[in-house]
Chains A and B, each alone.
Chain A
Amino acid sequence: MTQTLPASSPIQLTPQQLDALEEKFDAIHDEILAQRGEEDARYIRRVVKLQRSLEMLGRGSLLFAKHKPLWLLGVGSLSVSKILENMEIGHNVLHGQWDWMNDKEIHSTTWEWDFVTPSSGWQRTHNESHHVWTNVVGRDEDVGYNLLRMDDSQPWKPKHLLNPVMNAILAPGFEWGIAMYDIELNRFMTGQKSKKDTLRDVKRTLKKFGRQSAKDFVLSPALASLNGSGVAAIKGFVAANIIRNLWAHAVIFCGHFPDGVEVFSEEDIENETRGGWYVRQVLGSANIDGSKLMHFMTGNLSLQIEHHLFPDMPSNRLSEVAPRVRKICQEYGLPYNSGPLPVQILKTWRKVFRLALP
């Protein structure tokens, strides 16, 4: 069962403990941020270069997709390149993790990612709503994306019987789901978002949707058709997009929805201190255990707890701070939710099925 803080939570920290906790997490944050330097900059530049090389290889190969090995090479490299572009680069750049480099080529204010939802809309729902109000039902719409019932505290409606079906549709179409979600139609309906802002976001999204689709499903296949690879190329581009979406969906869902992750109410966070905010980030997030390669391919979102504690910390530093975070959690009796990918995915889907019923 999921629990809420503070009333029903087993974790009761005194204000003094919360202050001490805040100091410890702040110290890790400030220490790592002060260390950022040439090597970190070199890291992100190398990842960007790798991603661009893979993307060119993938797109180039798919132009000759009628040859099976080139189709496979194309789909493989394009999938990996899109995953890197969205997660280790896009997500983290749009968080401002690399803004300290003072470089417009890699900056949260200039980056536009290879994902249907425009960067600007996503930054608002993600950086502002989700990261500040993490798992607070009613303020962080990421709890179920207005689509799924992901917590007991969300009232059951008959449409939730379709929970598993909706999630099965959402997974391969994840980027389109996120694009819809970022328009915040629900907030428009309830009058929290103006017509003007909503219209602006709809226009931006449609434009991005058009250009993204034209690139992958029309123009590139049209080029490929010059040598008779058109149909194979369409299949290849669709495959690469679906692979990226399935992977992103799996990783994102493992970050906040496995069993044991807690959800909060607005009353829970009244008078919340920074220490309390830190506790909420730990209780509201879950990690995926894995190798260096696994962390890399998830954009280090497998270290979701650390990412939520320190959203502006460059992703390459998260694995370094994870043991220290885990130790602090142990010290204060905070559950540190972590498990291998299959286990976390299973726990997530189990919840999707269970919450379909009242």
Chain B
Amino acid sequence: MKRKNILSRMSYAALGLITHPQDPREFIQVFNPLSSSHYTRGVVTEVHHETPDSATITFTAGEGWASHKAGQWARIGVSVNGRRLWRPYSISAAEDTAPSVTVKARGRVSEALVYGTKPGDILYLERPAGQFLLEISPTALLFLTAGSGITPVMSMLRTLMPRRPDHDVVLIHSSANQESTIFHDEILELADQFPGFKPRFHFTKSLGRLTLREAGQLAALHPDILERTIYACGPDEFVGDIEAAVQEADGNIVVERFDTRLLPSDYSGPGTLVINNGTEITVPENQSILEASENAGTELPHGCRSGVCRSCLVMMSDGAVKNMRTGEMIDEPGMIQSCISRPSPHAILEL
């Protein structure tokens, strides 16, 4: 593996003498869409609709990708009306199989993935990451999931059950109803195949919300729950409640929360700017990020101060800004013009 890397790096360097100033990979891209010196690219191989508003997208990844572990997530970038937008998605495929993500059509990126993706399309990828991982030792497990929280757990079940059929695994999955439940049939099939796997569905439309704030509610849910290693995944509130209850009862829990981002809004009052060295700057109304930072003693690169020359481009890693000239909102990580942008209402800059 290492030798192959050195060889390919050497051949790129040699080719680069002729393709300068472009990287040879940009030329190879004409024939091979997976080739790029800027991104890890992927090609969609299959789109499988799980429910009317969700789909599993399987892809082949190019250079720079690393095989995923069950339970991990990866950031995926797609073009939405010409603009590259990124979201993190849990990987639903078993370990050592072709990577796939299962996406529910909520939000611009997810809608584009569910309704607009076809085999052959290009995906932009970042390496799998995340600490929601299977521990090898315990054999008594309990998965508590809600909504799309089932996706990383599905990867775990698909990986775990064939490998260790002796496991004693309980899954309690909460969702609106059967029709909206991703993997409903596959979960039942897995249970048929592996007697050690016992799934239970909790449909909130008929049974109401599953609340697990106290240890007592846990015991009522499953008798030996606190003797098991618990994995919880789902919306912030759902996971937070379970975690508090399990900790209160001295149980063993691993959790994955859905990414809670700074909520962007079309906003005109004072904004907050955070710079990666920890500096926090309040940006008054009618002031640009550039002006406010200078007033606060932080120098940012700049040129014409009128939005023409683009010398003031800085990396926004999170949050949102509003273009003061056009009113356009940018709520995705990327380069922004500090001289004509203001936080809306929060922006984090990487300098």
User: Which of A's residues lie within 8 Å of B, judged by CB?
Assistant: 26, 29-30, 33-34, 36-42, 49, 52-53, 55-56, 59, 95-96, 99-105, 107-110, 112-114, 123-124, 127-128, 131-132, 208, 211-212, 214-215, 219-220, 223, 274, 311-312
Contact = CB atoms under 8 A, between A and B. Distances in A.
A209 to B, nearest CB: 11
23 contacts: A33-B326, A41-B83, A52-B26, A53-B30, A55-B27, A95-B310, A96-B310, A96-B313, A101-B82, A102-B334, A102-B335, A104-B38, A105-B38, A112-B22, A114-B21, A123-B309, A123-B311, A124-B311, A127-B311, A131-B308, A132-B308, A215-B18, A311-B308
Interface residues of B, number: 35
Given A212-B20, A215-B18, A127 B82 contact: no
Interface string B40-68: 00000000000000000000000000000
B17 A37 contact: no
Given A33-B328, A100-B83, A112-B21, A123 B334 contact: no
A155 B230 CA distance: 83
Nearest to A96: B310
B30 A108 contact: no
Given A36-B82, A38-B82, A127 B308 contact: yes
A34 B17 contact: no
Nearest to A132: B304
B153 to A, nearest CB: 32
Interface string B79-94: 1011111000000000
A299 B81 CA distance: 24
B84 A128 contact: no
A108 B326 CA distance: 20
Contact of B18 (A33, A59, A311): A59
A109 B335 contact: yes
A41 B82 contact: yes
A120 to B, nearest CB: 10
B39 interface: yes
B168 interface: no
B33 to A, nearest CB: 10
Given A30-B326, A96-B313, A108-B310, A38 B79 contact: yes
B82 A40 contact: yes
A123 B82 contact: no
Contact of A102 (B17, B83, B310): B83
A99 B313 contact: yes
B20 A211 contact: yes
A110 B38 contact: yes
Nearest to B38: A104
A41 B309 contact: no
Contacts of B81: 37-38
A99 B83 CA distance: 9
A36 B335 CA distance: 17
SS class of chain B's interface: helix, strand, loop or mixed? loop
A102 B85 contact: yes
A55 B304 CA distance: 35
Contacts of A105: 26, 36, 38-39
Contact of B21 (A102, A104, A108, A208): A208
Contacts of A127: 303, 308-311
B332 interface: yes
Given A108-B310, A127-B310, 15 more contacts: A30-B327, A38-B81, A52-B29, A52-B30, A100-B83, A102-B334, A114-B21, A123-B310, A127-B303, A132-B309, A211-B17, A212-B21, A223-B18, A274-B306, A311-B308
A102 B332 contact: yes
Contact of B17 (A100, A104, A219): A219
Among B30, B36, B332, the one with the most A-chain Cβ atoms within 10 Å of its Cβ is: B30
Contacts of B22: 52, 112, 114
Interface string B302-329: 0110111111010000000000011110
Given A102-B84, A110-B38, A131 B309 contact: yes
Contacts of B307: 312
Contacts of A132: 303-304, 306, 308-309
A223 B38 CA distance: 28
A312 B304 CA distance: 14
B27 A56 contact: yes
A82 to B, nearest CB: 12
Contacts of A52: 22, 26-27, 29-30
A128 B311 contact: yes
Nearest to A107: B335
Contact of B39 (A41, A104, A109, A311): A104
Contacts of B19: 215
A41 B79 contact: yes
Interface in B126-140: none
Nearest to A104: B38
Nearest to A210: B20
Nearest to A131: B308
Contact of B82 (A37, A96, A219): A37
A33 B83 CA distance: 13
A39 B82 contact: yes
Contacts of B306: 132, 274
A215 B20 contact: yes
B145 to A, nearest CB: 32
Interface in B1-46: 17-22, 26-27, 29-30, 36, 38-39
Contacts of B85: 102
A220 B79 CA distance: 37
